[in-house]
Amino acid sequence: NFKLELPSELKSKGVHPMFHASLLRVHIPNDDRRFPGRSADQVLNLGGPQNEFEVSEITEHSGAGREALFKVNWKSGDST
């Protein structure tokens, strides 16, 4: 087993710092030229409050249930 020094955001979520050796891998840092400006909350879902964005309108939809797809116009002006 190895004890890791964890970031404060993981400690505050109750992540235990002891890990079995079979669960650890060599760290390869992110390439900031390919993936600029990534922050931990974009990558990790730690069960905290999610970022919320206001929807202007839903302009299209297709499918049903779990297969439903929507085209959304956001109040920021973007569409997805």
Convert the pLDDT of each residue in 7-43 to its tens digit: 888 888 888 999 999 988 888 877 777 766 666 655 5
Confidence of residue 62 (pLDDT cuts 50, 70, 90): very high
Predicted confidence at residue 17, as pLDDT, reads 92
Predicted confidence at residue 37, as pLDDT, reads 64
Q: Could you write out the three-class secondary structure of 32-72?
A: CCCCCCCCHHHHCCCCCCCCCCCEEEEEEEECCHHHCEEEE
- Upper half-sphere CA count for residue 33 (Cβ side, 13 Å): 0
pTM of the predicted structure, to 2 decimals? 0.37
